Amino acid sequence: MYRFADPLFLLLLLILPLLAFWYLKQMRRGSGKIRYSDISLLKNLGHTAKQRLRHILFLLRLLGVTFLILALARPQSSSKETETSTEGLDIVLAMDVSSSMLAEDFKPNNRLKAAKLVAEDFIKGRSNDRIGLVVFAGESFTQCPLTLDYGVLLTLLDKQSIADKDWDGTAIGLGIANAVNRLRESKAKSKVVILLTDGNNNQGSIDPITAARIAAAYDIKIYTIGAGTRGTAMYPVEDPILGKHYVPMQVQIDEQTLRQIADITGGQYFRATNTEKLKNIYAEISKLEKTKIEVKEFTRYEEYFVYLLAAGLFLLLIELVLANTYFKKLP
């Protein structure tokens, strides 16, 4: 794309017809008449090369002035370029893997399986965000540090299973503290923990509210999710005589504490009573925590006036040289 930076100078091109008119007028005024008795001999004389080319000086001057005027108007070529910068988030998924997550109220799966599948979709829907995975039951462990390698993260997520009896329980405070430890040195503009649990804090040396205040001190936002239907849920039990069978289990989620955790850190509390609601919760969190993308568009200009200026001066120089050499007039 081409343009003139100072197009008003193009009005000077109106001078060119005036110069042509002045030149023609000067040509007529400069001619004279001499009376001869007989000009038959002169009719047979041809025009010399100098006579035929006598107008070239004016054409050189006209072209030179044209190029100079165009140079004053500063012709430019423009090209638009875009610069995209992304500002990713740091997110830790803190997932409860206590034995109560075996309850099968998230048909057709149990709570843990449903939580893993929904978290998988959440991870696949992100880009430019570092995501880590922390699990907790009676204790808490980091399964994957913050990473952009979603393939590795998804593999580790898929491998998660219910906690052994040795460390069963629900240590929400330890889960938060572990997630905070993963994020406290993060340089990201936004640091987020998505904590999913289906019970009450009954293990661990750190109180959930204390852990939430520590998170707030590091400017870490926590979204809490209470996973479980209301009332009772069917829980699988292995019996050496009866084999696997189901017993109703009362769903007990400490919603008050989960709300406090979210409020202290600037997050939100959600209740998921089935798989569809859990999907919607993760979708809503994904909308709330968007990766910041900035697109800057700018135009780059390349100047061409130098070439026109050089051409104009060159033509005027040629005119000057020819006028004082080949086309030089005697006084």
Q: What is the pLDDT along the chain (331 residues), one digit of tens a residue?
A: 778 888 888 888 888 888 888 878 777 775 555 565 555 555 555 555 666 667 788 888 888 889 888 888 888 887 766 665 566 799 999 999 999 999 999 989 999 999 999 999 999 999 889 999 999 999 999 999 999 999 999 999 999 999 998 899 999 999 999 999 999 999 888 999 999 999 999 998 899 999 999 999 999 999 999 999 999 999 988 877 777 888 999 999 999 999 999 999 999 999 999 999 999 999 999 998 876 655 566 677 788 888 888 988 888 888 888 777 876 765 5
Is 202 strand, coil or helix? coil
What residues does CATH 3.40.50.410 cover in the chain?
89-290
Picking from 89, 81, 72, 100, the residue whose alpha carbon sits closest to that of residue 123 is: 89
Q: What is the pLDDT of residue 165?
A: 87
Q: What is the pLDDT of residue 52?
A: 62
Contact 183, 193 (CB under 8 A): yes
Is 162 strand, coil or helix? coil
**Entry pTM:** 0.65
Cα 108 from Cα 198, distance rounded (Å): 17
Which stretches does DSSP call E strand in 174-290? 191-197, 220-227, 232-239, 243-250, 269-272
Region of residue 228 (phi > 0: left; psi between -120 and 50: alpha; otherwise: beta): left
Cα 263 from Cα 268, distance rounded (Å): 7
Q: What is the pLDDT of residue 177?
A: 97
Q: What is the pLDDT of residue 38?
A: 56
243, two tokens: 């084999």
Q: What is the pLDDT of residue 32?
A: 54
Q: What is the pLDDT of residue 172?
A: 97
Rg for the chain (alpha carbons), in Å?
43
Cα 23 from Cα 65, distance rounded (Å): 14
Q: In CATH terms, is domain 89-290 a member of 3.20.20.80?
A: no
Q: What is the pLDDT of residue 105?
A: 93
Contact 111, 227 (CB under 8 A): yes
